[in-house]
Structure 1
Amino acid sequence: MTGTSNTRPADSEAQEPRQSRLRRIMRYIPLVAPVLLWAVPCWVLLYAGQQWPLPVTLTGTALFALGLIGMPLAMARGHGRHQQDRAAIIGDTLLGSSWVLFTWSVLLGTLLRLALTLIGVAEGQDRARIVTWAVLGVSALLLAWGYVEARRVPRVRRLDVQLPRLGAGLDGLRVALITDTHYGPLDRARWSARVCETVNTLEADLVCHTGDIADGTAERRRAQAAPLATVRASRAKVYVTGNHEYYSEAQGWVDLMDELGWEPLRNRHLLLERGGDTLVVAGVDDVTAESSGLAGHGAHLDGALDGADPELPVLLLAHQPKFIDQATAGGVDLQLSGHTHGGQIWPFHHLVRIDQPVLAGLSRHGARTQLYTSRGTGFWGPPFRVFAPSEITLLVLRSPHASTRPSTTS
């Protein structure tokens, strides 16, 4: 066709080899990471001077080798084409366990060796075995505690959020937030029902779910999601898609949430009125929607606010905190997000911060916009939460134009 050139700009030509090398390196990460997760603790616990009896060394090595081989196989079987829940549970549990063992083998192992050196404990078998038992003990305690934290009904976190443009008639509006429920291989139907019961005790005006309902299709996880139909709100129950919906037939989840009585805010808004004042409640699809290839899905703030009075305050639901740059540019007053899980298993927190501007909590962006990032209501993958407790959030919106009231922050 005339008018079309196959010549690329020089800078693109220069960058292409670098990008190709990066892609090649990234392909090896899934192969290297499992080896490190299992080989490092194996060395620290068995071969760093402990001189265990041969049966102990052989048994321990066999267990680590089994984990190294079994974890990727189980995860591929559980999360790949076969979608076998039992395999997913095994693979996810091994992943979480290896991450905790790796972390504390490196950190605690190094610090303990340094401390023992400083107090005069000579290098040798006894010192090495002290490190082994300390790492195993701490890891076991963290995994047990993390499992309980992941499986329990989240505590309610309450806080006041003042919005300067909020009218006095809307002062005290109660917004309940749940997110990242991640119904999945572990059947959490009873947990789901108890979460919904807890939300109902909050007597919220508006209840929001900011995505990542489940891992799996709506048809497959319907029983776990069904209790969401029991959630009560005096004004509205609204929902936006998360990135995991786009791994599992997102439109099916949008349709199911509509069936369960939740209003999907797919690049649109509704108006919430009280006491003569109005709040724009808007939502956008997840930022991954555009690349999903699903027709009609994409994160479009302009579409979400189309027709809304620009003088009205805006509450925006967006699954990922990274959408805050667009929200700030668009004059949004408060964005509600999830996605980060607060890191879920420390020190994964620091890796999350590479991708997201905020890990958890309330933050301010620009002159007007605030962002609340929930640590999530459920968990993804490994059934553990270590130093990242789950939450159900109650945000009480406050107007500077109303009389001063006691804070409900907790």
Structure 2
Amino acid sequence: MQKKLAVPHKSKKTNSVAVSDKLIHLRDGDVVLYRRENSGKWQARYKLFNKWQRISTKEKNTDYASKMACEIYDRARFLADEDIVITSKKFGAVAKVVVKQLQDELDSGNGKSVYNTYIAVINKYLIPFFEKYNVNGIDYEALKKFDTWREGEMKKKPRASTITNHNTALNRVLEYAIDMGYMSKVHLPNLQNEGSKSEPRPAFSKSEYKSLTSFMTRWSKKGHTQRTKDMRELLRDYVLVLANTGMRHGTEALGLKWKDIHWVTTNGERYLQFTVDGKTGKRDLIARHNVQDYLERIQLRDKAIAKLSFDNLLKKRVDEFVFRLRDGTTTENLGGTFRHLMRDSGLNKGRSKARTLYSLRHTYAHLAILDEGIDVYKLSKQMGTSVPMIEQYYGHVTPAHVANQLAGKRMGKHKPVKPTISDKQ
């Protein structure tokens, strides 16, 4: 005898549909009662804005459980309409999801280089302090405690630029929490930035830069070992390229490959264009003409490409790093060799803040403004930074420094004005 299928029974009084003895639909399916195996108590879930929320009614009686589930559902709808969060999440759990999202974007090639900074900030500072806070419970007091704790961890007052990165990383976590319904916009804290002001970057003056380039010519040929000589000759060209392009040391320069360099022609003249990938993502920049000399010197030290003409080298789009030693290996120790260069040249002597390889980028910006009259808007595109950042670091360039550019060309000869009677008096 064939078994008849149970027909769901709809209760007119409770507007419920008993699908089985362990599953009941309420409110047209927006509220569901169900019983787990080996449990006599009813669990419930309800749908709000297309998301399911789960609760325990702690009731064995079906009518009581149905009434409680519906009351909780009605209250949740009211709170949602009033923009009040129903359920929250711990900061640590939410932050780990955001870290994974950022890393996934980096791994796919779509993420920005600055995502590495946000990941480091979240893992090193935000999760250790806020991990057990509810995301909707991070208020002014919690942020003040975090400021004190962070200063202790860093053993100094962080700079304004550092706090900006921390605030941006924190906002990414909190905004994701808002998107997921774990907190409301009304709970979003107002993040302050009272970090110490950044000092102007130490750069080389024009005369100091000339002294540096002259000194490196002799210094790069000396060394107790062949390795030292190889490091010095590579550093010389590395310094010259940095100072004549405005590239960032490290992320942009050390990641540069021959395939990233090509000629572009504008108004009948050729220019070397670099495609770099660093802190702010990919961008194109134009190198000064003499950079070709430094690149050809590097090329001639590499046996694999030494016999190519420079133009053919660029046309072949060789997938090898530009800044390599004679043996074909790359190095991450150019910063140490540069410190020896500063020591031997005496160019850091008596300075409170030592120059580093980053100083060459700032030298480029300084001389571009002073000697070449490049406006900050064009310079920001070339260097991959914002106009406010350039104005912050190079605000010491006054109108008097660029008076010849501001005054412009004289229109005709100066004609002295004869004094009037009142002038004579």
Q: Under a length normalisation based on structure 2, what TM-score does the superposition of the two structures give?
A: 0.26
Q: Under a length normalisation based on structure 1, what TM-score does the superposition of the two structures give?
A: 0.27
Q: From the CA coordinates, give the structure whose radius of gyration is larger.
A: 2
Structure of greater relative contact order (alpha carbons < 8 Å, 6+ residues apart): 1
